Amino acid sequence: MSLSRSVRARLHHLLLDCRLERIDSVAHEVEDLRRERAEIAHLVPTWDRVYVFNDRVDESRLHEIDLALEPRSKVLTQLREEVAADLDALGEEYPPFGIGVAIERAFRLAAGELRPGPTWAAERTALCELLSGIADRVVKNWVPDFSPASLLSELGDVAHCRQAAAPAVHALQEDARLGIAPIGSPALLPIVARRLLAGDFFAAQEEQRSAQADYDTAAKAASEASDRVPLFERLNLFSEGPAQLVLSERQADLAAKEEALRRAYERSQAHLHEALGGYPPLLVHQRALEARGVAELLRVERVPTLDSEGRPRDRECVVPRALVVAALRRLIRAFAEAFPGVPLPLSVAQERSAIGARRRSPREHLERRVFTALEEGWALDLRRRALEHAALLGMTRRELASHKAPGGWLGRLGSASEATDTLDSRRAWHEVAATDCWRQVLLHTRRQCETLAPLAARDLTLLASRALTEVRTEAGEFLSARECGVNGLPAVRSALSAIERALGSHYDLSGTPLELLRAVAGASPTQSEEIPSAPFEPLTRAELVARLAGWFPTGLAERLDALQDPSLGDWLLACEGSDLPPQAEGTRPEEIRALESDLASALAAAYPPAQVYYALAGVRRLVERITAECVARRVEIAGQTPIRYVCEVREQGAAVEALAALGRLLHATYGELPDAHELLLVWERSAVVESSWLAE
């Protein structure tokens, strides 16, 4: 019986497949109940709701959900603990399945459980240990005498490689317990040698030799230029003489040649390590070390976001988690190639469950638009390069741990200390290169966010908030009164205009609230007062007017004709709940306030993005009220109190409050939208889930 059939037979015998399916089913029930509860409690934004669309909190339903959640959560925890123990036991019986258990646990830790907090560093250590354990288990079970350093040292030139590749390579034998029969280093040598000869290793080695020659020439030229610098030029700290200029040019050329040599050397090393994948279990080994190399890069960063109060704040984020998940995807593919048909634990449940039955929320549709852009752009190439550096980073760390003692394989490079320094230099270089590639992916993702209205509005609101708090006037004290200017307002205006363009072009919105109401007054209601299932799908202006007509009572035209003040919308929505200047609040007629309230309610129910769009008018009006005034103050100088003049910014606080109110409205409409880090993480996670290897 094949390994795959044996594992599935044992799963069936232990009823693990049914229990995994039960876990999957209960987990979906718990997720659905928690989501419904959050929606009823208004913890889910309007556009992402699935179950309810009204504004009433149903206390009785909340109680029913709580009663249903408690027993299901307990059952889910108990089932998972029991199954985890049985999975470990089955993994000891069949090592490939045990590796699959470890891979899935690493995936769940990296993709879901590894979050900022007091324990994040311990969780990162646990992830690294899981991945190292996978590599160690491969060596223990399939290549007990594996020594990559000694193996690769025998294949360093083409003559030795051809000699090693001469013996016949026998077909890999099946093993009922291991899937593939273990082999020793003598049997592995011809497999690796043939892979090297068939690949680009020796071409890369020739490129390395050429780069070494160029480096040696540049080093000699730099040394000679240094010898020609006179003493007086060396002592001159204020300018460079002719000889110093020549030396600077030679040193810059030497640095460029050193970088080219390093890249050529690392390319040849990459071919060496990839050649080990000719024996399928070692491909799993290599991919596990690659993922370990990425996991070592994890750190906590602070990223800006809008909180529920509409104000900018920083939140902590573990990055680059998405790159770790990308490395785990490669590990999963290697596992599938090495042990075809052996299931990862929850893939058994996924084969029997209806994952994805729930309709996608608007947020998921938004994320998929970003994913499409990433897959059509050059982000995939950058990700591949980042993983290549991460793979070599993992190998270098392994070598560094294995060859610190004197007389080791790296002793031919000099003393043990010099060998360690060389590996440390390589490790640092790969860390910088992998991080730089990933930052470029991040930058590309942020640029894609600029093309999507909700994400663009969020980022521009953050930009406007920062710019508004940085508005300043002239500093210092003056002997006489003077005109005071206001610095920083153009940046605020630019950000608000960009928000207007982003929302207006995407949702077909334009004009003022008064113009919209006049159009609504002349339209016939064609829509019911029920919120549609897709409230954020772009509407034409005619469709919006028709939808709003059903939300206004009769007599709207008469109310508009009776208006004496045409400034409807100057304080619309964004200022609601904020501290308006008393004179502004006092001069607004009651009929204006009533119309604004009715329009706000109608837009919130019928077309929420329009509520954000038309709220910009109130923010812009308050921004334009910001001025600077020169005021007199008495100061104490040597026992006297002369008058001095200082410039102060006026009305800035009201504008800040209005912009915060706009942020609250944006947050209530769209929720806490994903940033670039989250988008990349979901992108990588979804690719694994949808490839049927792991259940959600």
Bridge partners (DSSP) of residue 645 are: 478, 632
Ranges 21-25, 475-479, 647-651: which has the least confidence: 21-25
Mean pLDDT is highest, among 174-183, 567-576, 668-677, for 174-183
Instruction: Produce one character per residue of 683-696: b if its CB has 16 or more CB atoms within 10 Å, e if not.
Output: bbbbebbeeebbbb
Q: What phi-psi label fits residue 146: left (phi over 0), alpha (psi between -120 and 50 degrees) or beta?
A: beta
Question: Over 90: is that where the pLDDT of 352 sits?
Answer: no
Question: Over 80: is that where the pLDDT of 13 sits?
Answer: yes
Q: Structure tokens of 299?
A: 């750190």
Query: Distance between CA atoms of 138 and 150, rounded to whole angstroms?
Result: 18
In terms of pLDDT, which residue wins out, 419 or 489? 489
Question: Over 60: is that where the pLDDT of 531 sits?
Answer: no
Query: Of 49, 30, 676, 50, which is closest to residue 367 (Cα–Cα)?
Result: 676
Query: Distance between CA atoms of 404 and 418, rounded to whole angstroms?
Result: 10
Q: Are 298 and 114 contacting, i.e. CB atoms less than 8 angstroms apart?
A: yes
| Helix 120-142 / helix 280-295 crossing angle, nearest 10 deg | 160
Query: Distance between CA atoms of 396 and 423, rounded to whole angstroms?
Result: 6
Query: Distance between CA atoms of 124 and 114, rounded to whole angstroms?
Result: 7
Cα 470 from chain centre: 28
What is residue 695's predicted lDDT score, i.e. its pLDDT? Answer: 44
Instruction: Give the model confidence (pLDDT) of 189-221 as tens digits.
Output: 888 888 888 888 888 888 888 988 998 899 888
Query: Distance between CA atoms of 231 and 636, rounded to whole angstroms?
Result: 58
Question: Over 60: is that where the pLDDT of 567 sits?
Answer: no
What is residue 526's predicted lDDT score, i.e. its pLDDT? Answer: 59
pTM for this predicted structure: 0.79
Q: How many CB atoms lie within 10 A of CB 333?
A: 16
What is residue 404's predicted lDDT score, i.e. its pLDDT? Answer: 53
Question: Over 90: is that where the pLDDT of 305 sits?
Answer: no
What is residue 46's predicted lDDT score, i.e. its pLDDT? Answer: 61
Q: Which residues touch 222 (CB under 8 Å, ≥6 apart)?
A: 247, 250, 251, 253, 254
Cα 325 from chain centre: 11
What is residue 375's predicted lDDT score, i.e. its pLDDT? Answer: 76
Torsion on CA atoms 368, 372, 375, 377, rounded to nearest 10 = -130
SS (H, E, C) 24-91: HHHHHHHHHHHHHHHHHCCCCCHHHCCCCCCCCCCHHHHHHHHHHHHHHHHHHHHHHHHHHHHHHHHH
Q: What phi-psi label fits residue 414: left (phi over 0), alpha (psi between -120 and 50 degrees) or beta?
A: left
Instruction: Give the model confidence (pLDDT) of 28-82 as tens digits.
Output: 888 888 877 877 776 666 666 655 555 556 777 777 888 888 888 888 888 888 8
In terms of pLDDT, which residue wins out, 55 or 678? 678
C-alpha distances (whole Å) from 351 to each of 22, 111, 338, 348 are 13, 21, 21, 5
Query: Distance between CA atoms of 479 and 466, rounded to whole angstroms?
Result: 32
Burial category of 528 from C-beta neighbours within 10 Å (exposed 0-12, middle 13-18, buried 19 and up): exposed
Instruction: Give the model confidence (pLDDT) of 252-265 as tens digits.
Output: 888 888 888 888 88
Bridge partners (DSSP) of residue 318 are: 300
Q: What's the pLDDT band for 361 if we cut at 50, 70, 90?
A: low
- 3-state class (DSSP) for residue 591: helix
Question: Over 60: is that where the pLDDT of 390 sits?
Answer: yes
Task: Give the rounded percent of residues in the chain with a pLDDT score beyond 90.
Answer: 19
What is residue 414's predicted lDDT score, i.e. its pLDDT? Answer: 42
Q: Are 676 and 449 contacting, i.e. CB atoms less than 8 angstroms apart?
A: yes
Mean pLDDT is highest, among 14-28, 143-157, 409-423, 652-666, for 652-666
Instruction: Give the model confidence (pLDDT) of 307-341 as tens digits.
Output: 888 888 888 889 898 889 989 988 999 998 999 88
For the chain, give the mean pLDDT.
Answer: 81
Domain boundaries, given as residue ranges, for the chain: 1-93, 359-449, 453-674
Query: Distance between CA atoms of 24 and 39, rounded to whole angstroms?
Result: 22
Query: Distance between CA atoms of 183 and 114, rounded to whole angstroms?
Result: 37
Q: What's the pLDDT band for 403 if we cut at 50, 70, 90?
A: low
Task: Give the rounded percent of residues in the chain with a pLDDT score beyond 70.
Answer: 84
Q: Structure tokens of 571?
A: 């304080």
Instruction: Give the model confidence (pLDDT) of 438-496 as tens digits.
Output: 888 888 888 888 888 899 999 999 999 999 999 999 888 888 888 899 999 999 999 99
- 3-state class (DSSP) for residue 442: helix
Q: Structure tokens of 604?
A: 């919130």
Question: Over 60: is that where the pLDDT of 353 sits?
Answer: no
